[in-house]
């Protein structure tokens, strides 16, 4: 990309971050998502810090100020009253001083904190901030393995599709069929007032999302009970890779700050988890698959979750195979990375996580591949992503065949990822 175009993109990305900035947190986009979301914020912190390092740290501090006493970090913090979103605090009823949801989201904070720290120009500020966040992120990681890996398998389960961040992925279809819908309270969706219904999850999926929320609520959001009580328990390679990468990064950060106990604990989590990830590998498909903890089976669904696994330190042979699989996908979709294999009849290029490309996923896959020595594919993803933004602007997600922008507009984490991709491009 030439310098003028790069400067133009950078200015547009910075303007979106400013537009969605609420002072101590950012909203993902106006209207559709009017509160603070967990993994949105941690990835957004990387972009914010390029403009103002203190503001980057503040984004994560605000999120962790709402960590639950047991260590869980909720997926939404409802900082303000806003009836434009459903389900709001009255549905979750988690009883927190500032209302939050009762489930979590991909644990990217350990990765983000290390990256903010390593890149910091203000080293003193970075050390103070990282020292304060370190034990909080460590507690979240401990919470995960204590509550979502009760049989000590090395990997954690998600109990709700919203926890994965890939809400309506084809990966969950079979397991969701086991979730009943009887007895759910009547509700009105608000997302369809802000986005095209054809780009969003269906009513059948929402009914099941809400049944799970109401079931967990009836158990008083007691995390010791939720895992075994949930009919939906999925081990997602992408979700686990994010957690394991964060454990590894937190381990390194802790070591550098002289916190040996935290370093050891998190490195052990990462080591054990990476060994267990091997059980999710499919030679036949050349990627990782999800595991359904209820049925005990691997799920035959070629989604981006199985490629996002490359964000963690998977064996080099696996990283190479993931890069090859991405190479195949470039034949099927002009814009990387489709969230589901376009060759699957269930693929839908416009519907949220059933096909569209998402910049955050591109960023994490490219980062992992570059680290594993697959720099050619990493550069392809970065260049392809920037070309997509130049063509289609800063949307929530995109049709990977045409590049059509979909979902919400002026999207915060898309802008943050553009700033990071541009930074890497400038550094060569």
Q: Select 209 or 288, whichever has its Cβ closest to ligand DGY.
A: 209
* Smallest gap from residue 252 Cβ to ligand DGY (A): 30
Burial (0-12, 13-18, 19+ Cβ within 10 Å), 190: middle
Q: Select 100 or 384, whichever has its Cβ closest to ligand DGY.
A: 100
* Smallest gap from residue 399 Cβ to ligand DGY (A): 18
* Smallest gap from residue 137 Cβ to ligand DGY (A): 21
Instruction: Assess contact for 212 and 179: CB atoms under 8 A.
Output: yes
* 278 is an active site residue: no
* Smallest gap from residue 209 Cβ to ligand DGY (A): 8
* Smallest gap from residue 167 Cβ to ligand DGY (A): 5
Q: Select 87 or 403, whichever has its Cβ closest to ligand DGY.
A: 87
Please state, in angstroms and rounded to a whole number, the distance separating the CA atoms of residues 341 and 322. Answer: 13
Q: Select 269 or 352, whichever has its Cβ closest to ligand DGY.
A: 352
Q: Select 90 or 297, whichever has its Cβ closest to ligand DGY.
A: 90
The CA–CA distances, whole Å, from 275 to 21, 144, 257 equal 40, 17, 27
* Selected catalytic residue, list 223, 396, 399, 420: 396
Strand partners of residue 33: 29
Q: Select 162 or 288, whichever has its Cβ closest to ligand DGY.
A: 162
* Smallest gap from residue 417 Cβ to ligand DGY (A): 17
* Smallest gap from residue 162 Cβ to ligand DGY (A): 4
Instruction: State the residue for tokens 């009513």.
Output: 203
Residues of the shown chain interacting with ligand DGY in the complex, contacts defined by CB under 6 A: 75, 162, 167, 191
Q: Token pair for residue 305?
A: 């979750």
* Selected catalytic residue, list 138, 167, 191, 248: 167
* 396 is an active site residue: yes
Q: Select 131 or 189, whichever has its Cβ closest to ligand DGY.
A: 189
Please state, in angstroms and rounded to a whole number, the distance separating the CA atoms of residues 416 and 40. Answer: 10
Please state, in angstroms and rounded to a whole number, the distance separating the CA atoms of residues 11 and 79. Answer: 28
Q: Select 64 or 162, whichever has its Cβ closest to ligand DGY.
A: 162
| Residues belonging to the active site | 167, 396
């Amino acid at each position: 990309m030439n310098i003028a175009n790069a400067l133009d993109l950078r200015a547009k990305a910075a303007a979106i971050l400013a537009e969605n900035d609420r002072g101590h947190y950012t909203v993902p986009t106006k209207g559709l998502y009017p509160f603070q979301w967990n993994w949105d914020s941690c990835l957004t912190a990387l972009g914010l810090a390029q403009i103002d390092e203190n503001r980057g740290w503040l984004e994560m501090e605000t999120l962790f100020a709402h960590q639950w006493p047991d260590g869980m970090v909720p997926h939404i913090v409802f900082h303000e009253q806003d009836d434009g979103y459903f389900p709001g605090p009255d549905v979750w009823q988690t009883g927190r001083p500032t209302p939050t949801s009762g489930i979590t989201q991909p644990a990217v904070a350990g990765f983000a904190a290390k990256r903010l720290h390593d890149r910091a120009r203000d080293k003193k500020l970075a050390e103070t901030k990282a020292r304060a966040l370190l034990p909080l992120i460590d507690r979240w990681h401990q919470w995960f393995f204590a509550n979502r890996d009760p049989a000590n398998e090395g990997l954690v389960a998600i109990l709700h599709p919203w926890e994965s961040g890939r809400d309506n992925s084809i990966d969950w279809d079979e397991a969701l069929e086991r979730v009943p819908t009887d007895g759910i309270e009547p509700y009105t969706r608000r997302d369809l007032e802000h986005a095209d219904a054809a780009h969003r999850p269906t009513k059948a999926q929402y009914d099941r999302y809400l049944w799970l929320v109401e079931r967990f609520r009836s158990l008083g959001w007691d995390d010791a009970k939720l895992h075994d009580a949930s009919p939906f328990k999925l081990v997602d390679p992408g979700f686990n890779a994010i957690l394991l990468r964060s454990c590894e990064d937190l381990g390194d950060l802790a070591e550098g700050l002289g916190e040996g106990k935290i370093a050891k604990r998190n490195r052990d989590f990462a080591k054990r988890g990476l060994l267990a990830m091997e059980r999710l590998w499919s030679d036949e498909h050349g990627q990782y698959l999800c595991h359904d903890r209820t049925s005990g089976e691997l799920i035959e669904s070629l989604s981006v979750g199985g490629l996002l696994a490359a964000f963690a330190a998977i064996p080099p042979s696996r990283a190479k195979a993931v890069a090859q699989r991405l190479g195949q996908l470039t034949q099927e979709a002009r814009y990387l990375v489709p969230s589901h294999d376009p060759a699957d009849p269930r693929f839908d290029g416009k519907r949220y996580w059933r096909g569209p490309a998402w910049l955050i996923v591109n960023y994490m896959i490219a980062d992992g591949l570059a680290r594993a020595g697959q720099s050619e594919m990493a550069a392809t993803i970065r260049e392809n992503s920037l070309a997509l933004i130049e063509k289609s602007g800063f949307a929530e997600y995109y049709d990977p065949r045409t590049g059509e922008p979909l979902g919400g507009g002026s999207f915060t984490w898309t802008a943050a990822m553009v700033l990071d991709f541009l930074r890497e491009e400038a550094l060569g």
